[in-house]
Amino acid sequence: MVESVFPQLEPLLATVQKPIQYVGGELNSQVKPWEECDVRWAIMYPDAYEVGLPNQGVMILYEVLNEQPGVLAERTYSVWPDLAGKMRAAGVPAFTVDGHRPVRAFDVLGVSFSTELGYTNLLEHLDLAGIPLHAADRTEADPIVLAGGHAAFNPEPIADFVDAAVLGDGEEAVLEVTAVLRQAKADGASRAETLLRLARAGGVYVPALYDVAYGEDGAIAAVVPNAEGVPARVTKRTTMDLDAWPYPKQPLVPLAETVHERMSVEIFRGCTRGCRFCQAGMITRPVRERSITGIGAMVQQGLGATGYEEVGLLSLSSADHSEIAEVTRGLADRYEGTNTGLSLPSTRVDAFNIDLAQEISRGGRRSGLTFAPEGGSERLRKVINKMVSKDDLVRTVTTAYGAGWRQVKLYFMCGLPTETDEDVLEIAAMAKEVIRAGREAAGTRDVRCTVSIGGFVPKPHTPFQWVAQADPETVDRRLALLRDAIRGDRDLGKAIGFRYHDGKPGMVEGLLARGDRRVGRVIEAVWRDGGVFDGWSEHFSYDRWVGVAARELEPLGVSMDWYTTRERLEAEVLPWDHLDAGLDREWLWEDWQEALAGQELDDCRWTPCFDCGVCPQLGTEIQVGPTGKTLLPLSVV
């Protein structure tokens, strides 16, 4: 029996910020009897409760695992520094918010990484839990630390700290991992033997079972297995039938304010638009749609289980669902008069139409619309394969203004490959034209446009994985030029909001995204120097990262710039080449060369196959929606 640490924790809560986030007991949370289960998971989102609780991935795995007889799962989130210090002083270990049980008592600590900037939070949590930071130092009494999520598609920077990583979808993977652990415990297998079984089962990467060799130039020479029966390449997991996994059925309702206050349904997974900067779109291929009936059932059950009054229809590009018109119309009809609103995330300009927008707003809620042209100029949008023209954008937002919307948000990136000052300045010209056209269409000057800028970070498993990242000075200089171009117009500039992130956090993210195992020593040193919550501006220190990176990497013959602002050659062995996201490496390189030539690539859902490598390996025909439209071209299926 494992006792709750809440009696020791409770006296500390009155002395810290937002104590409610540590209490647990949310609607639809679960606490299963410890002694009735033989496999126990602690699932962590390595960020604050307000960010982590709404995370769909964590909710799904939490529910999938707790449905299994003999298995329990509890959640744990990063604790704020104010509580972390008091926990250390009082001897209170890292805990789960469900049963307030010590994290170290569980069989598995599963960590879902949405961003690389959460790596230092993992080390903080391990230390608070009393779990050795380094996997090599862990004993039979320690849980297996298992990484997942998009930022685990290159787990090499945290290879010293995690025991294993799962690539891709987790619904089926966690059940298979659970089965291996259950059998290993029954057999009395050692920790090392259990990890070996996981690696041999397929779809689980165990870094300790692979040796990395480096060349004289500092690049990786080879990554090879060091144990028999371990695959040379670890492949991602793909859950094909989303209707068979209608999770979460009982979404969690937070006790404290969170970043998303809504009930969400993932209407499809994957994207074939082919945006060359987008890691999420590349690693989640192929597209798998949830049926209209499946979506409707999940919305009905989720609303009944939560009491929410807003439903988010989620995916990478929700308006691309082949039956989105029918989905939104059917839901709007069903919930008309109930004060239940619908929302879509960022919408592609070429997938938007006013009928869709009207259906979304029929519940009486008309929030601002968000579009993501990404690149400022036509030339740059061809490079990144974002096939949206300036005329298309102006026409679309003009229609929205004319139909009654008054607020539009435009999202762009700065620091994209081949970008020039002129490309960035065209963002200002586009925003001004949007305001001019909007005023004319709406018949009023009361229209707004917010320009939001994020820094581009090259990511693994994308056509841009070889590119040189723009340095922070270049990004910040271009952002200053753009700000002046917007604010310099005394009339139109007043109607344009401007939000941006400077280039410094992106440089650290670039180091972590494309790093190898040597970067682990930087992560550890930054954490030991006080680095946590690096995704939060009030905690992030660029100078700390730069100073630590220089100290830790230069003796090894590499540097922060070597990992970030250096362009890779085609033949270079990349740290993640032994991890298979399903994409053919040669296809990614060819797409990078086509980007340099400004050559666009159509959406392969509706055109002949471009042979990216994902679909043939699946060996199956994929259908989208009950209409039976074929996703894959006939030449493939």
CB neighbour burial string for 428-447, b if at least 16 within 10 angstroms, e if fewer: bebbbbbbbbbbebbeeeeb
The CATH number linked to 180 is: 3.40.50.280
pLDDT tens by residue, 511-536: 999 999 999 999 999 999 999 999 99
* 386 inside domain: no
Q: Which two tokens stand for residue 285?
A: 């291929």
pLDDT at 344: 82
- pLDDT > 60? residue 191: yes
Taking CA atoms, 557 is separated from 89, 98, 157, 508, 551, in Å, by 40, 46, 17, 19, 11
* 57 inside domain: yes
The residue to which tokens 């059998």 are assigned: 183
Element (H, E) at 341: strand 341-343
* 15 inside domain: yes
Lowest mean pLDDT across 138-142, 349-353, 463-467, 584-588 = 349-353
- pLDDT > 70? residue 613: yes
CA distance 491 to 514: 43
3-class SS of residue 213: strand
Q: How many structural domains comprise the chain?
A: 1
Q: Which of 135, 132, 112, 6 is nearest to 57 (CA)?
A: 112
* 88 inside domain: yes
**What is the percentage of the chain residues whose pLDDT exceeds 90?**
83
- pLDDT > 70? residue 386: yes
* Whether the Cβ atoms of residue 168 and residue 221 lie closer than 8 Å to each other: no
Q: Which two tokens stand for residue 52?
A: 């982590």
Confidence label for 367 from pLDDT (cuts 50, 70 and 90) = low
3-state secondary structure 267-301: CEECCCCCCCCCHHHHHCCCCEECCHHHHHHHHHH
Q: Which of 27, 32, 58 is nearest to 45 (CA)?
A: 58
* 473 inside domain: no
One-letter identity of residue 90 = A
* Whether the Cβ atoms of residue 310 and residue 263 lie closer than 8 Å to each other: yes
- pLDDT > 80? residue 443: yes
Q: Which of 270, 256, 358 is nearest to 50 (CA)?
A: 256
- pLDDT > 70? residue 631: no
Confidence label for 442 from pLDDT (cuts 50, 70 and 90) = very high
- Taking residues 162-170, report their average pLDDT: 97
Could you give the maximum distance between any two Cα atoms of the chain, in Å? 75
- Higher local confidence (pLDDT), 393 or 116: 116
Confidence label for 261 from pLDDT (cuts 50, 70 and 90) = confident
Q: Rg of the Cα trace of the chain? A: 24
* 563 inside domain: no
Beta bridge mates, 314: 266
- Higher local confidence (pLDDT), 182 or 405: 182
CA distance 403 to 416: 34
CA distance 75 to 28: 13
Beta bridge mates, 174: none
- Taking residues 198-209, report their average pLDDT: 95
pLDDT at 617: 53
- pLDDT > 50? residue 257: yes
Confidence label for 365 from pLDDT (cuts 50, 70 and 90) = low
* 26 inside domain: yes
Q: Which of 344, 293, 284, 294 is nearest to 320 (CA)?
A: 344
* 315 inside domain: no
Classify residue 239 by burial, with Cβ atoms within 10 Å: 0-12, 13-18, 19+: middle
Taking CA atoms, 136 is separated from 107, 191, 287, in Å, by 17, 11, 38
CA distance 157 to 560: 13
Domain containing 12 equals 6-235
Strand 144-148 relative to strand 234-235: parallel, antiparallel, unpaired? unpaired
pLDDT tens by residue, 8-56: 999 999 999 999 999 999 999 999 999 999 999 999 999 999 999 999 9
pTM over the 0.75 mark: yes
- Taking residues 475-502, report their average pLDDT: 95
- pLDDT > 50? residue 627: no
- The distance of Cα 87 from the centroid of its chain, to the nearest Å, equals 30
Q: Which of 459, 454, 412, 403 is nearest to 431 (CA)?
A: 412
